[in-house]
Amino acid sequence: MIIIQNGQLVSPEGLTRADLALDGGRIAAIEPHIEPGEGDTVHDAAGCYVFPGFIDGHTHLDMESGSLVTADDFTTGTRAAVCGGTTTIVDFATQDKGGTLNDALDTWHKKADGKCSCNYAFHMAITDWNDQVKAELPEMFRRGVTSFKAYMAYDALKVNDAELLEILQSLKPFGGILGVHCENGLLVNELQARQKELGHFGPDAHPVSRPAEVEAEAVNRLCYLGKLAGTPVHVVHLSTELGLEEVRAARKKGVKVYAETCPQYLTMDESRYKAPGFEGAKYVMSPPLRTPADVQALRKAVAAGEIDTIATDHCSYNFKGQKDLGIEDFTKIPNGGPGIEHRPMVVYTSMVQSGELAVTDFCRLLAENPAKLFGMYPRKGVLAVGSDADVTVWDPEAKTVITAARQQQNVDYTPYEGFAVTGMPKAVFVGGVLAAEYGQPTGLLAGTYVKR
């Protein structure tokens, strides 16, 4: 057995000083003191918090976009994730136009199986809705996929409102959840064209072409569709105060709306697009970074419990050789940024260390809530006897500085370059296997598929 001693166990309800015993991939015991026996391995967690392993519910690994493939695949991406304290990711298997959901899921299993340092599950992104695809839904649930995604933007991915409504209605009998990328795609296309007509081709045209209203209108529309369907809806990567206001309004009308945001929208603003030269391309992601007022509104919403989960939307492209393909046209800059490794440290330093967020709420946002939302609880997301032995031992006093030179992410930059961190994972266990210590991988591929 592995015994984690002297730590403070964290749950959304509070802190408990206790020892944990891990055995057979499960938490075998939780006691005030567990005496090690012969052959047991002891990890001292004195002065540390002991969390259920963190869950990142929004990643894009080994993803093709046109002729490009993301810089991180499942080998490098999950290694980076576990080094940051994340023990489970939920990636997006994406249906090809004209393809089937089963083929998409098979493809993503081939990308991931046998390559992962942390556990992995899949959402299914539906890009081509029809009767044949609808007939596949029962098989998706049999194969452990309980969450789905739809896009309201990107011509190659988006579905229309009638299709969105039918998808929501079709998932209702199964209890599935649909996450939606909320941007008005037609407006984005028009506003991008207008920027180019004005001669604006640099990265600073990106946020102008995707203003807050484009997000808020789509959030509003999704929430009304959820009301029509009588189902919950999940707004992913919420980035604006206007969008937040639409979530609040829908909740007042009785619509069950889950909201996710990301560390980049809590720590950085649109001034990054004004960086010298082409540096602003590093922050070209959709939705874009927003105003300082949006950042503060989202931080307050996180602290107030209005945001359900914090994920990364990790979608890494190298600055040289990938991002710079759009050096003469901002619409050709691959959209996305890296963050799978640094999410827990950035949020902890930025919000827990600052006193804005309790450590118990940090646990709720990064572990319990995503486990519940995505059909993994109580197997994951909680420290309880019988739950999976996914455990993050967190040293709140450890200090480091985030740099691309030292990261595990397989990408040539990080948007958090120079960010001074207080608090990082001392030891990370995946299924009872020590997968990382103080940001360094042990090299063990401990991840397994999470059939939900």
Q: What is the pLDDT of residues 242-298, one digit of tens each?
A: 999 999 999 999 999 999 999 999 999 999 999 999 999 999 999 999 999 999 999
Q: Residue written as tokens 């006093």?
A: 397
- Residue 405: CB atoms within 10 A of its CB come to 7
Residue 82's H or E segment, with its range, is: helix 74-83
Q: In sequence order, what are the residues at sequence separation of 6 or more whose Cβ sits closer than 8 angstroms to the Cβ of residue 247?
A: 219, 223, 235, 238, 257, 259, 306
Distance CA 135, CA 6 (A): 52
pLDDT of residue 65: 87
Structural domains in the chain, CATH included, are 53-373 (3.20.20.140)
What letter does residue 314 receive in the DSSP assignment? B
Whole-model pTM: value is 0.98
> Is pLDDT above 90 for 66?
no
71-103 pLDDT tens trace: 999 999 999 999 999 999 999 999 999 999 999
Question: Which among 365, 199, 186, 208 has a CA at the least distance from the CA of 291?
Answer: 208
Residue 167's H or E segment, with its range, is: helix 161-171
Q: What is the DSSP secondary-structure string of 316-337?
A: ---TTTTGGGGTT-GGGSPP-B
Distance CA 123, CA 106 (A): 13
360-391 pLDDT tens trace: 999 999 999 999 999 999 999 999 999 999 99
Count of all residues that appear for the chain in the document: 452
Distance CA 204, CA 275 (A): 9
